[in-house]
Structure 1
Amino acid sequence: MRYRRAGLAKVLACTAVLALAASACGSGGSGTSADGKVELTIATFNEFGYEDLLKEYEAANPNVKITQRKTGQAQPHHQNLFTKLAAGSGLADIEAVEEGYLSQVMSKSGQFEDLKELGPKDVKEDRWLQWKVDAVTTKDGKMIGYGTDIGPLAMCYRKDLFEAAKLPSDPESVKALFETWDSYFQAGDQYVQATGKAWFDSASQVFNPMHNQAKVGYFDRDDKLVIETNDDKKYFDQVSGAVQRGQSAKLVAWSDEWKRGFKESAFATKVCPSWMLGPIEENSGPELKGKWAVTAAFPGGGGNWGGSYLTVPKQGKNKAEAAKLAAWLTAPEQQTKAFVAKGTFPSQTQALISPELLNKTSEYFGGEKVGLLFSEQANKVPGAQYKGPQDGTIQETVISPALQAVEQGTSPGDAWNQVVEGAKKAAR
């Protein structure tokens, strides 16, 4: 959802090992309590902003009792999800799914309810941005999740470091630098030449959104591996070339070194999905308030990185009631409240034009109207990228290590050969 997606390989590797142990976890769904109430469980991770909303739902529906299972990070949550899917029992009535794990879930879509059929009939697809719906719709037209938040992309940058390098620094004038990936890397060359310092944090943090702008990921819609024939080689060469010209700070995202890099001014730009504003402020500290800026521009147009869905596994005992709760939580009114509570940027079209969102500003980013900015960016996303079953595994265990190898001195050619070989193995 927000902040971090890591360990997909570990998730998938652990699934088979843990499946037998999970079979003792009890049946899916919660049934009915001793006092006759419908018991529902909802499993989430990180911050969805649902704590007060669940109390509000219980107050409006006194026959329902809700228990939230909240995991700190996405990786253990999804490990539990895949383990219990394999075991056939033990899942919550509502399971949250992060966008980075969606391809694995879609490959198991038969184990989830079609919410077009099960959900309230007044819930229509036009509640959400179309690309958000498309990403969770199966090839035979079933919708297995209700969209929660998204991560529309913009660019964040350090105004003071731009000024020191004699680059444009106000949010309007920098848009030309971020118009295309070519212009972005050209500006990076200027910055490195002027300062001798890095332009971005890590190669994989730049490659990921470049790749995500394509219509299909590492597989085509027939689930055939296309990494050798799509544009990924071009993206890989662009990023690798920038690394060789000194543009990367060579920091592994979410590591302690990466976190310190913000405070130490180790890089001047950051690919910036809406949820990244929080980590930037947290890691940079109060002394850099007003020095970071965000602009409504992103190389190559729009893009998305992150976001989640609420699904209803077929294991549950109260699936219709679970779908009703999931529909209520993902209504524009509730998602706007979740945004106000935790900053989770909504995917609902009506929420994106709500005054509460559009008037949201960030003093840390110079008073920028970040709600309006990211709402505009969300509408620039051209469509949902098709991802094959092993798409996330290739991203996590093949692409990222290869780019890190380039940052440590491996030639781009050798690293790309490593990518092709690793992708073929993952696709088998």
Structure 2
Amino acid sequence: MRQRRAVLAATLAGAAALAACGTGGGGSGGRTELTVATFNEFGYEGLFEEYEAAHPNIEITHRKTGQAAPHHQNLITKLATGSGAADVEAVEEGFLSQVMAKSGKFHDLREIGPGDVATDRWLKWKVDAVTTKEGKLIGYGTDIGPLAMCYRTDLLGAAGLPTDPEGVRQMFATWDSYFAAGDRYVAAVGKPWFDAAAQIFNPMHNQAETGFFDRDDKLAIESNDDRKIWDQVTGAVARGQSARLVAWSKEWQDGFRQSAFATKTCPSWMLGVIEGNAGPEHAGKWAVTAAFPGGGGNWGGSYLTVPRQSEHAEEAAALAAWLTAPEQQIKAFVAKGTFPSQSAALASPRLLEKTSEYFGGQKVGALFAEQASKVAAAQYKGPQDGEIQDNVIAPALQAVEQGKSAEEGWAQAVEGAKKAAK
């Protein structure tokens, strides 16, 4: 799932408490109060203090949820009831299709945002994903999750596979070469190549020209490339390449420490997940390469939006614009590792010189900046896109990993997608 937000714990009780809060109003001392609702870690705490110091008339109240799902459930509820949304609401790309389906509930930032904020501040595909068919800009981009491949150098070496940068890049150049290397790995050591089928299917699906829906919001799962992708992934499962773990489960987390698999699809934010789960005993054994099968890809990232419920929409848009300026996004990256989506930030020496000792001292900032440049376009997402990926495709793939045939699993996926799309 897009549950990178699940790395930090949160309770639904906490989300309910947040839901009870109202929208921005009068702050203390006659200052304008702006509420900002986020989830997980955006790296904004220090930035809020900096903004308040530069704008004495503004008081910022931060509502912070640990997981993405409760945050977005709360947002959708507030949009439906017509009250209670924050002045600035963060939206994660995994839930963006739900928000875009309710675009009329949000301000067009081209209209109320600062006049000096041009859309070329961001990577084009980042802007395209949050622009409606009518040309309204619903959100300002925060971070992204450019994709690379992470791998265990020691495990690949023990299987006789390349571990040098050039050899690894060739091995991960295409999905065919990736699965072929997986066959070699399984044959050599008798252990799984990757963690879970859904963790492979999802980025492959997101690289396709057409997602679960076409641009007319018609279900396309039977006419796009998904059946071909399904056969590739489930074929690899049948050949022993999957560790058959459920992503974000305790077993999956333990799998990193137990060396249960040798490779991992790796958006920029996954580096911290790997380090936290694999533990210090595996420092220097994990590496990341500036290659991803099939070209570039993105997994993760968010936006700042301004709901029409805000009583201080222009002030909220000004704050959102400032938070998503290149200078502030670099500060957020340094604070919490959120990889920036701004073109100028991606060229910043502060980002390009960023290294990871856990990953052998690699310049991970430069590596992921290179990977971000390989993403050509944002795939169109229909209103039920996230529901299908998380609640239909993932369970169907898990069913195949647990013994159901690939054909039966595909039938389950198609039937579930049709029900979700009704």
Under a length normalisation based on structure 1, what TM-score does the superposition of the two structures give?
A: 0.95
Alignment of 1:144-293 (within 5 A): 144-293=138-287
Q: Which residue number corresponds to residue 116 of structure 1?
A: 110
Distance 2:354 2:339 in 1: 11
Matched, 1:3 2:38: no
Greater shift after overlay, 164-173 or 203-212? 164-173
* Helix, strand or coil at the partner of 1:229: coil
Instruction: Note if contact 2:88-2:304 (Cα within 8 Å) is conserved in structure 1.
Output: yes
- The number of equivalent residue pairs is 415
Distance 2:168 2:184 in 1: 14
Distance 1:361 1:25 in 2: 42
Distance 2:358 2:376 in 1: 30
Alignment of 1:18-417 (within 5 A): 25=20, 29-417=23-411
* Helix, strand or coil at the partner of 1:227: coil
Q: 1:256 to 1:2 in 2, by over 3 A?
A: closer
Distance 1:66 1:213 in 2: 38
* Helix, strand or coil at the partner of 1:3: helix
Q: 1:335 to 1:101 in 2, by over 3 A?
A: same
Task: Give, in angstroms, the shift of residue 30 of structure 1.
Answer: 1.6
Distance 1:177 1:236 in 2: 21
Which consecutive unaligned segments of at least 5 residues does structure 1 have?
12-17
Task: Give, in angstroms, the shift of residue 196 of structure 1.
Answer: 0.3
Task: Give, in angstroms, the shift of residue 388 of structure 1.
Answer: 0.4
Instruction: Note if contact 2:3-2:248 (Cα within 8 Å) is conserved in structure 1.
Output: no
Distance 1:32 1:424 in 2: 47
Task: Give, in angstroms, the shift of residue 25 of structure 1.
Answer: 4.0
Instruction: Note if contact 2:197-2:397 (Cα within 8 Å) is conserved in structure 1.
Output: yes
Task: Give, in angstroms, the shift of residue 173 of structure 1.
Answer: 1.7
Greater shift after overlay, 176-185 or 29-38? 29-38
Deviations 1:273-299 (A, max 9, x none): 000000100100111011000000000
Instruction: Note if contact 1:99-1:308 (Cα within 8 Å) is conserved in structure 2.
Output: yes
Deviations 1:98-122 (A, max 9, x none): 0000000000000000001110000
Under a length normalisation based on structure 2, what TM-score does the superposition of the two structures give?
A: 0.96
RMSD over equivalenced CA pairs, Å: 1.7
Which consecutive unaligned segments of at least 5 residues does structure 2 have?
none
Instruction: Note if contact 2:6-2:66 (Cα within 8 Å) is conserved in structure 1.
Output: no
Distance 1:167 1:100 in 2: 35
Deviations 1:122-172 (A, max 9, x none): 000000000000000000000000000000000000000000000001233
Task: Give, in angstroms, the shift of residue 214 of structure 1.
Answer: 1.4
Q: 1:427 to 1:5 in 2, by over 3 A?
A: farther
* Helix, strand or coil at the partner of 1:423: helix
Q: Once the two structures are aligned, what percentage of the paired residues are identical?
A: 72
Q: Which residue number corresponds to residue 15 of structure 1?
A: none
